[in-house]
Chain A
Amino acid sequence: MNSFWSILSLSIYTAIFSTLLILPFSIAAAWLLARKKFVGKSFLEATIQLPLILPPVVTGYFLLFVLGPKGTIGQYFNAIHIQIAFTWFATVLASAVVSLPLVVRTIRVAISSVDPRLEETARTLGASEWHIFRSITLPLAYQGVIAGSILAFARSLGEFGATIVFAGNIPNQSQTIPLAIFQYINQPGGIEKAQPLVIAAILFSYLSMFISEWALRKVDHVEH
């Protein structure tokens, strides 16, 4: 039972940290995609959405290729004795990358639903772009930010492919709920052992989807 709680808490910590990690970038990217026209917009959009379509194992492979001990960037971290791959941070990073498209997409929809004429009005009243974003756009799109964050949290809890490739399946470090279930069901008598984790995963997924849908309904009904 101890391992159940340690797996559950590791999964929740990982999901919370990965959500917090991508949230600022997701909000910025969603705002850019919803409000700005610029060269390379389609490329940025495609790049952000790519992990949604790619097999998560490929995403994990890519992360390993870039941030692994011999990776294009990872080798420099390795030279100063900082290891990213096969650590808890790698688990967070893998979850963050696969969750990113869901968060950006949800927040983008919320920002697009904010009447741009409100922002124009704020401009004619002398407000800076940052102030407009902070006091008009973001408060009116906050349900989308909540919905996106919950989706990211739920996606992180369910993340398997990218994590096992980039972070491994190390107890108390990278062994989140799906990875533990995978390990248990490959052991004799593991099906029963995996059951509490399966139930926890289902409950968390239901709860997350319920809250996310509620927040998204609020976005649809936001009054302008």
Chain B
Amino acid sequence: MLNIDIQKRRGNFTVRIQHVFSNSCVGIVGPSGSGKSTLLHIIAGLISPDEGSIQLQKKILFDSKTHITPQQRHIGYVRQEPLLFPHMSVLQNLLFAQKNTQNNSPLWSLSKVIEMFSLHSIQDRIPSSLSGGEKQKVALARAIIASPQLLLLDEPMASLDDSTADTFLEHLITIKAYIPMLYVSHNTQRIRYLCDNILYMNNGILVPSSEKKI
């Protein structure tokens, strides 16, 4: 369960979020510049809110006295661009996550994740030699190896073709059973397929929706 009550001034509007995310997958849709990515950055600890509090499970990540660093939040973050480390092979990218995580879960061991995402054949290749779909698959695998308590997904399928996106979606459905997700997208069709709850964001405000999974 993620409990957020924050305020953050961004340019000409203020992101104001007061919400309890309790579903295994919450989708957030909204126009560009509405503050969706800012919200994910705040949850990941990459930017700080001006005021308020964030609590994940029973752990306070941010309040007036506490500021847990991104390293200690155990929150995975996959963005539209895979952001693989370009000088490392696929395997080295995965090992980077495995070595740095403080809560290795046997569920997401290196070998299991490589098998789950079928990365055997590409594990020695460098990111520049991979297709967009392969890169995004590695980015997701890398985030999972770190055994996050929450997975943030910012338009991860936006640049994938339909067939690759469908495969990626199947992976997310499997992961959703173990790791809660917050999924930001423009594509309401996929978000409805994946998420139990959908929220709309506009001008930095979250609006609950009564729309449910199709």
Contacts and interface: CB of A to CB of B under 8 A. Distances in A.
Interface in A191-224: 222-224
Contacts of B31: none
Contact of A140 (B45, B73, B87): B87
Given A118-B86, A124-B77, A140-B86, 18 more contacts: A117-B79, A118-B85, A120-B44, A120-B70, A120-B77, A121-B83, A122-B85, A122-B100, A125-B96, A126-B72, A126-B97, A126-B101, A126-B146, A127-B71, A139-B87, A140-B87, A222-B86, A224-B86
Contacts of B81: 117
A125 B146 contact: yes
A58 to B, nearest CB: 42
Contacts of B73: 124
B187 interface: no
Closest CB pairs A-B (n = 10): A126-B100, A123-B70, A127-B100, A124-B77, A125-B97, A121-B83, A126-B101, A126-B71, A125-B146, A124-B70
Nearest to A136: B85
Given A136-B85, A140-B86, A123 B96 contact: no
B56 interface: no
> Would you call the interface of chain A mostly helix, strand, loop, or mixed?
helix
Given A118-B85, A136-B85, A140-B87, A124 B75 contact: yes
B71 A128 contact: yes
Interface of A: 115, 117-118, 120-128, 131, 135-136, 139-140, 222-224
A117 B83 contact: yes
B102 interface: yes
Contact of A115 (B44, B45, B83, B102): B83
Contacts, number: 63
B173 interface: no
A120 B102 CA distance: 17
29 contacts: A115-B83, A117-B79, A117-B81, A117-B83, A118-B85, A118-B86, A120-B46, A120-B70, A120-B77, A121-B77, A123-B70, A123-B71, A124-B44, A124-B70, A124-B143, A124-B146, A125-B100, A125-B142, A125-B146, A126-B71, A126-B72, A126-B74, A126-B101, A126-B102, A127-B100, A135-B85, A222-B86, A223-B86, A223-B128
Given A117-B79, A131-B100, A123 B69 contact: yes
Interface residues of B, number: 27
Contacts of A118: 83, 85-86
Contacts of B76: 124
B159 to A, nearest CB: 15
B86 A125 contact: no
B103 to A, nearest CB: 9
A115 to B, nearest CB: 7
A122 B44 contact: no
